[in-house]
A and B are shown apart, each in its own frame.
Chain A
């Protein structure tokens, strides 16, 4: 049942009034001796049945009268069915992000969301069409469903933790997934002919719903289950080896950052035991400091892939209590420099060589396909360079834009066989913006925020062409492109065949005139990562896939009854109309009938008092 003013239902206690009066009056009826009862017996049965029936009808009428008055006060919406209404299209956007998995009072928030959505489904008619659209994964296919099918679809939705690292476009902020889903839903409804179309967003976090009851967008209804979530702590960031590539035979550090919600509850994140589990065994453990940080140190590792997870004791929101990580322990690559990489690059390479992170090699490229590809080419343009390892080529463009075209043949020749995409340097663009690599797996977070003053336009095929963006600027302009056999050509299992390599092209020379990266602290780790073939991969087999975890949305949910009045009315017209006039008419009929029955058809004007004593 639907009520526009549910608070008035508290008056339902008044229903007990006529019942109490009925029972009290029953008790007041006295028992009297009457020997001449036999004279009543002939008429007794019928009369007794009639009397009992009349009293029951009177009681029912009085209860109904009170009920009708309360329903009218609560603005009851009378169900009239939807058979005469044209079909409606409703998209239920279910926010099934990390917060929806929180367990509060032994019940997941998602279960409350489902119940709320099911309540909305109850208001729909049999001819209406429903789409159940979870917000994660973002592109989950949706189909038009009936009400019963939609209920089953709701049951199949589960909480989905947002990925630790994302590639591609800028990572969405909190709630962006809902906005994307709403846009998708509206686009879906735009091509539908139904007269009534609604997008119903069932939030897991009611804090983002406008408190003033304003409608966020025409035809969009936002609801939240109104769960008051307790304090929460979760792992917000995991960084392996301080951003450096783990090397065989060296200790590996894992930095873990915890954060408490709501903000300010840092005590919740302090002194929390954190464990690093690899292969089902706890290989490192520690407790967080006052800032919620802890560094776990692993003993020197052999070369190979390491996968496991970092975890804390589970609390209400369990999806952020365990973060998976995977990294590869690799030997230092042998690097050869062709051309002139510039002063800052040489210094960084020397630093890495000195630290044993790489091995610098002199002389020509060893015989192989790379060598066979580059031998026929003209010399490299001045100011440009190639950093060549066993299975990787990093191309640094020249500082002089007029020479940039000279690098294109090299890029074209070094594009691995089997890769369909092509990368090409174009004219330098206007002063650039800050570098953005958040969500990019495998590159050091210290690169984030580095300002790029100038950059070439990197033109190449999209993801379908095998070209991937490893780093981009805030405006979305790609800054590091990669094409390699691992994308369009699976190659062998290890991807390390001598004849296979990956080509990476930077959008700017590593020169302070073109950007701040060469002079920043991120230069050395960034260069190290660029010289590793797995950097930027989304699979756990990358050199270090653990990284920045996005901050989960605030789990603070607005308290109190969640939906303001407008939200209840959005779907009301599907199932009924307000029953005020009907209730008024019903009340009038009840009162008339009750008066007629209470007076009795033959009682006349005799007082209806309790006595059987004859005068």
Chain B
């Protein structure tokens, strides 16, 4: 049985664990996103050390003038040599969520039950942004199709929450996807290296997008790609003959589903492998997000990425 169609049980009171169709019934983006974030925060373990960075980096030889509090007295006792401990600098994260708002995102294989990719992506973007904001990070967002349509620079604070939700709620999916140019534009606008989350169905021409993502990584950003995929796109189902129309290009193809299924599925798998193999060498994370699943899983993946950002 499809878990998406299962009603929320008592154990599933955390909103981030609700199936998308149930989340879609809760209300607008702001309310839903906040619920998802609250649920996600409940799932996180409390850190014993707060506010400062405690991540050990390395030992180095003592130099005159070093703070005595940083001397590693144990090493002095063992080796009779003076070493001081060095820690990573703990700064606020600057994150940018890039949301694909092209027409291809506004599609669901089961419009009556399953939300569109755009709805799912917008929820995911909003929830992750709120999550980061509540952790004190600076978050911005952008929506693009052939160009950047909305741009909210990364900032922190509760005011940013409202702005961000308002901006995202006002975005509609339309136009063609030319992600390469908008990503380059974003790379130029983001001066401070940080975390860049691309939420897209990646129904684009891969080479320009790959180049743009590598460029972002080259600029020092930690790039994470949330590759949204409707289950109807992952596997071609159904039978008979149909005329399939690309909502972005208007191309029409008349096919027999049964005949095209095997080739289509192989083509999708090959495309996914291609994305992973193209992005991994550049340190870009690629996460496939099934829009029929609860957003908690995708949110956790993005949260883990924040730790690496």
Contacts of A84 in B (CB 8 A): none
The chain B residue sitting closest to A25, CB to CB, is: B241
Alpha-carbon distance A602/B236, docked complex (angstroms): 15
Beta-carbon contacts of A32-45 to B below 8 Å, as 1s and 0s? 11111111111110
Least Cβ–Cβ distance between B176 and chain A, in angstroms: 11
**Inter-chain contact A48/B255, CB cutoff 8 Å:** yes
Whether a CB of chain B sits under 8 angstroms from the CB of A263 is no
Name the contact of A39 in the complex, choosing from B103, B254, B259, B267 (C-beta under 8 A).
B267
Whether a CB of chain B sits under 8 angstroms from the CB of A584 is no
Name the contact of B201 in the complex, choosing from A35, A50, A604, A610 (C-beta under 8 A).
A35
B236-262 interface with A by 8 A CB criterion: 237-249, 251-260, 262
Alpha-carbon distance A600/B260, docked complex (angstroms): 12
- Residue with the highest number of chain A CB atoms closer than 10 Å, among B242, B249, B252: B242
Beta-carbon contacts of B8-34 to A below 8 Å, as 1s and 0s? 000000000000000000000000000
Least Cβ–Cβ distance between B4 and chain A, in angstroms: 11
A1-59 interface with B by 8 A CB criterion: 29-44, 47-48, 50-52
**Inter-chain contact A36/B258, CB cutoff 8 Å:** no
Contacts A29-B243, A31-B245, A611-B240 given; indicate if A603 touches B258 (C-beta within 8 A): yes
Least Cβ–Cβ distance between B109 and chain A, in angstroms: 5
A218-253 interface with B by 8 A CB criterion: none
Beta-carbon contacts of A600-615 to B below 8 Å, as 1s and 0s? 1011101111111111
Alpha-carbon distance A34/B262, docked complex (angstroms): 17
**Inter-chain contact A602/B268, CB cutoff 8 Å:** no
**Inter-chain contact B267/A42, CB cutoff 8 Å:** yes
Alpha-carbon distance A35/B236, docked complex (angstroms): 12
The chain B residue sitting closest to A606, CB to CB, is: B239
- Residue with the highest number of chain B CB atoms closer than 10 Å, among A40, A600, A608, A611: A40
The chain A residue sitting closest to B262, CB to CB, is: A602
Whether a CB of chain A sits under 8 angstroms from the CB of B264 is yes
Alpha-carbon distance A225/B243, docked complex (angstroms): 55
Contacts of B258 in A (CB 8 A): 600, 602-604, 606, 608
Contacts of A611 in B (CB 8 A): 238-240, 242
**Inter-chain contact A38/B242, CB cutoff 8 Å:** no
Contacts A38-B203, A614-B235 given; indicate if A47 touches B259 (C-beta within 8 A): yes
Least Cβ–Cβ distance between B15 and chain A, in angstroms: 26
Contacts A51-B254, A614-B109 given; indicate if A34 touches B237 (C-beta within 8 A): no
Contacts of B260 in A (CB 8 A): 40, 43, 47
Least Cβ–Cβ distance between B236 and chain A, in angstroms: 8
**Inter-chain contact B239/A36, CB cutoff 8 Å:** no
Whether a CB of chain A sits under 8 angstroms from the CB of B185 is no
Whether a CB of chain A sits under 8 angstroms from the CB of B263 is yes
Least Cβ–Cβ distance between B114 and chain A, in angstroms: 9
Least Cβ–Cβ distance between B274 and chain A, in angstroms: 11
**Inter-chain contact A32/B246, CB cutoff 8 Å:** no
Whether a CB of chain A sits under 8 angstroms from the CB of B110 is yes
Whether a CB of chain A sits under 8 angstroms from the CB of B233 is yes
* 19 A-B interface contacts by CB (under 8 A): A31-B252, A32-B244, A35-B247, A36-B268, A37-B253, A40-B253, A40-B267, A43-B267, A47-B259, A48-B255, A603-B259, A604-B258, A606-B239, A608-B240, A610-B241, A611-B238, A611-B240, A614-B110, A614-B238
Task: Please list the 4 inter-chain residue pairs (A to B) with the smallest Cβ-Cβ separation, ordered nearest first.
Answer: A35-B104, A614-B237, A34-B244, A614-B232
Q: Other CB < 8 Å A-B pairs besides A33-B245, A613-B109, 18 of them?
A: A29-B240, A29-B241, A31-B242, A31-B245, A32-B245, A36-B104, A37-B251, A38-B203, A43-B264, A48-B255, A602-B258, A609-B239, A613-B110, A613-B238, A614-B109, A614-B110, A614-B232, A615-B237
